[in-house]
Structure 1
Amino acid sequence: MFFSANKLCRFHIDATDGECGKVKDFLFDDVLNITRYIVVNTGGWLIERQVLISPVAVSQPDFDSYVLPTVLSKKNIEDSPAIQSDLPVSRQHEHNMALYYNWPMYWDSINSSTNTSVTVEPKQIEGDPHLRSVSEITGYHIQCMEGAVGHVEDLIIDTESWCLRYLIIDTRDWLPSKKVIIAFDWITHITWEDRKVHIDLTQNQVKNAPTYDPRLPVNRAYETQLYDFYGRPSYW
């Protein structure tokens, strides 16, 4: 199922023995475009304590009740290592958390699949430079072939695979006001230092693209219309 990241950030975490916090953000791999962690605020009114939960520990969101179920208990979540609000999350913290939850360490599988050395480099100790925040990218300018064309208003996450599937673009500051979506696969690169997402599309393509209505679901019929309009091969 496809869900807006902004809407998912209103969801409460439902542990096996009761509610335990609220979704605050998502951390994703900016190379593979996959959600690595769900950031959960387990604190009360006065104390904000943030912990990370892997998508492998959650079930499908319940949109009617705004609940994200998890297989973890309240104690599992509340006693897990807390994180600082600033990125990057240190690899040591990820290592400690993987040990705490008995989760596989995803960077080992990446190293293995790419036949790279598993030697820990200094940058890995400090933190994974490819681990980014969804809230960080929100507001970034969209840079097409001719220039700016809008800004990132939201992201759409596939909660079956936890891939980041689409960017929701608001064009009102550059073009006649409308919202469109573009696939993450059409991003050529992101320049984090100047907060720009670069895409290999023209301004006219974005201007004339099918309008995105947040009240309607992103389903296969809409995706087919979108990919046909852009003339791009479908991922499915």
Structure 2
Amino acid sequence: MTDRLWSYSTESGHLAGTDLTGWRVEASDGHIGKVDKHSDEVDDAYLVVDTGVWIFGKEVLIPASTVTRVDLEEHTVHLALTKEQVKDAPEFVSEKHLADRQYREEIGQYYRTGGPFSGGTGAL
């Protein structure tokens, strides 16, 4: 992973300006939903993933650094997260959270310490 949580890695294949809205999202162990919103701003890049009926319509904010591959032909975004890690992520509520820096810090903490990149695997 990168030390920049809110940035796409250069290896991901993400092209700035590509509209990912509606694209399929795959965790490392299977399908989890579709991209509802996204940003590719420098140091503020993220995906908002609508998990649909999989976890009862919950949306989650996913930092861009978790994207391992963007498949331009299949319109699919692949993550370095398991389904369980996405399911356990804090719920995202657009009206409350998009501009809330404290919420963004809490999300960062989840992904750095309590989430997928904790446990001595090179925290972000």
TM-score of the pair, normalised by structure 1:
0.39
Q: CA deviation at 1:131?
A: 4.6
What amino acid is aligned across from residue 183 of structure 1 in structure 2?
Answer: P
Of 83, 105, 108, which residue of structure 2 is paired with 1:227?
108
Of 30, 34, 48, which residue of structure 2 is paired with 1:147?
30
Asked if residue 179 in structure 1 is aligned to residue 59 in structure 2, the reply is yes
Q: Which structure would you say has the larger RCO, counting Cα contacts within 8 Å and 6 or more residues apart? A: 2
What amino acid is aligned across from residue 156 of structure 1 in structure 2?
Answer: S
Aligned to 1:87: none
Aligned to 2:120: none
Query: Where does structure 1 lack aligned partners over 5 or more consecutive residues?
Result: 1-28, 34-128
Aligned to 2:21: 138
What amino acid is aligned across from residue 187 of structure 1 in structure 2?
Answer: V
Separation in structure 2 between the aligned mates of residue 197 and residue 157 of structure 1, nearest angstrom: 14
Query: Where does structure 2 lack aligned partners over 5 or more consecutive residues?
Result: 1-7, 118-122
Cα pair distance change 1:171/1:208, threshold 3 Å: same
Separation in structure 1 between the aligned mates of residue 105 and residue 53 of structure 2, nearest angstrom: 28
CA displacement 1:44-93 (0-9 Å, x = unmatched): xxxxxxxxxxxxxxxxxxxxxxxxxxxxxxxxxxxxxxxxxxxxxxxxxx
Asked if residue 192 in structure 1 is aligned to residue 75 in structure 2, the reply is no
Does the 8 Å CA contact 1:155/1:164 hold for their aligned counterparts? no
CA displacement 1:176-224 (0-9 Å, x = unmatched): 2111110111101111111110111111111121111111144332122
Does the 8 Å CA contact 1:141/1:152 hold for their aligned counterparts? yes
**Alignment RMSD, CA only?**
2.8
Separation in structure 1 between the aligned mates of residue 80 and residue 14 of structure 2, nearest angstrom: 21
Separation in structure 2 between the aligned mates of residue 209 and residue 131 of structure 1, nearest angstrom: 26
Cα pair distance change 1:130/1:203, threshold 3 Å: closer
Q: Count matched residues.
A: 107
TM-score of the pair, normalised by structure 2:
0.70
SS of match in other structure, 1:151: strand
Separation in structure 2 between the aligned mates of residue 157 and residue 192 of structure 1, nearest angstrom: 15
Within 5 Å, which residues of 2 pair with 1:36-115? none
| Greater Rg over alpha carbons, structure | 1
Does the 8 Å CA contact 2:11/2:69 hold for their aligned counterparts? no
